[in-house]
Amino acid sequence: MNRFVYTVLIILSLPFALLRILLRDAKNSNWIRKLKNQLGFVPKIPGKVIWLHCVSVGEFNAAKPLIDMIFINFPLHQIVISTTTITGSEAVEKYYKSQVIHCFFPFDVPFIVSSFLKKIKPVACILLETEIWPNLITKLKHKNIPVMLVNARLSKKSYKKYKKFSPKLINMTLNNLSLICSQNESSSKRLISLGANNNIITTGSLKFDSNEPNNSETIQALKNITGDRKIVVFASTRKGEEFQIIKSYLKLKSKFNALLIIVPRHPERFNEVFSMANETGLNVKRRSLGGHCEQDTDILIGDSMGEMMSYLNISDIAFIGGSLTNNGGQNMLEAASLSKPIIFGPSVFNFEEISKRLLDDGSAIQVRNAEELMKTISELLLDDEKRRLIGESAKTTFENNRGATTKIFNAIAPHIKNI
């Protein structure tokens, strides 16, 4: 596939993308601004702009230490942060308020990208993780604007797709990047195999440097409504997982008196997950409705935004979602940073290096299915010492792998200073 064919396919997909925005985001007051931004309509931004793109909340949270370092070292520059999701935009605006300008990421169509760049006029562009957009990167290259991919990762699954469907396009795009900072050697080797030249270095993952502040008020509020029972948090669950978890829980419910907190990954699924859990006859509460849990409450649905670290903080065991279904897992390091024993399923291709380190260090347990998950939870709940040892090991693994922020900043700074 060449860039022309890619562009035609992107244009043909636009009606479906617009329909998705209408169906998924229309209830949010930001949806019109999102639509305008994605079509290239953004206000003109004065000054020297450093533009960072983070897809959603997870990428933004990981990037915070790097963004803070850029703030300190480039105080005369205007920071613009783009996201793809509305939840990402809300996280940016809540954390930085008026310190940064937020906009939504444009569709990767040449005339839309041109309009977008004409308005924000960045002096440097920093893309997070797997944001490889051929038209945007090519436009920036033609304008001699440094474009850097940091905290880059490439799973085996994504590598095979690129290799099969668009080897020439990805080769050209990677070579148009000024710099690639990769999370691990495996990703570096795959990116080099796809065509990245000497513009790639391995720096480690920003996620190890991400220290989300603990909200003591929220933590205390959760403790007040959950009581003194053991708590198992199912973090960032995906469609299909909750059913498996609840079905397996019903079989073992009599063996442990623990409260299950299920936190779906996507807010639009909160109602769906609550209804499904409620239909089983279990005693289910919702955090958004107060969620006061009695001794016979089985499940609390964590249908609130920005409280994941607080849920994990009060937990005795943390299961990482997206790993029982074929979604590649979610961030495991938030739980590790809090010294929590971690469990995840077989699908962790998006976090293969991190999951391997945790397993090798005895900092996590991997299960094959929901039945094995519940059996493992049951055993851990009866063994306080084992939970403590796994949790302490997870914290040690987390601390031993910090430092990526400084490495990445030292790599990107010359590209900004030379402008």
Q: Are residues 162 and 309 in the same domain?
A: no
Is 313 part of a structural domain of the chain?
yes
Instruction: Output the pLDDT for position 383.
Output: 96
Specify the CATH number for the domain of residue 76: 3.40.50.11720
- The count of structural domains within the chain is 2
Instruction: Output the pLDDT for position 419.
Output: 62
Tell me the backbone φ, ψ of residue 78, rounded to 5 degrees.
-90, 125
Specify the CATH number for the domain of residue 263: 3.40.50.2000
Q: Are residues 142 and 275 in the same domain?
A: no
Over residues 289-310, the pLDDT tens digits come to 988 999 999 999 999 988 999 9
Among 189-198, 255-264, 371-380, 410-419, which is the least confidently predicted range?
Answer: 410-419
Instruction: Output the pLDDT for position 277.
Output: 96
- pTM of the prediction? 0.87
Overall average pLDDT of the 94-118 stretch: 97
Alpha helices in 185-305 (DSSP H): 185-193, 216-226, 241-252, 270-279
- Strand 200-202 to strand 179-182: parallel, antiparallel, or no bridges (unpaired)? parallel
Overall average pLDDT of the 229-254 stretch: 94
Q: Among all residues, which ones are annotated catalytic?
A: 59
Over residues 36-92, the pLDDT tens digits come to 999 999 999 999 999 999 999 989 999 999 999 999 999 999 999 999 999 999 999
Over residues 310-333, the pLDDT tens digits come to 999 999 999 999 999 999 999 999
Q: Are residues 193 and 228 in the same domain?
A: no
**Hey, which bits of 54-132 come out as E strands?**
78-83, 101-104, 122-128
Q: Nearest 5°: CA angle at 406, between 265 and 205?
A: 35
Q: Are residues 181 and 264 in the same domain?
A: no
| pLDDT exceeds 90 at position 165 | no
Q: Are residues 367 and 245 in the same domain?
A: yes
Q: Are residues 294 and 409 in the same domain?
A: no
Neighbours of 233 (CB within 10 A): 26
The confidence band for 22, taking pLDDT boundaries of 50, 70 and 90, is: confident
Instruction: Output the pLDDT for position 181.
Output: 98
The confidence band for 254, taking pLDDT boundaries of 50, 70 and 90, is: confident
Q: Are residues 196 and 253 in the same domain?
A: no
How does the average pLDDT of the chain come out, rounded?
Answer: 94
Instruction: Output the pLDDT for position 418.
Output: 61
Instruction: Output the pLDDT for position 23.
Output: 82
Which DSSP string corresponds to 147-201?
Answer: EEEEEE---HHHHHHHHHH-HHHHHHHHHT-SEEEESSHHHHHHHHHTT--TTEE
Q: Are residues 110 and 236 in the same domain?
A: no
Is 209 part of a structural domain of the chain?
no
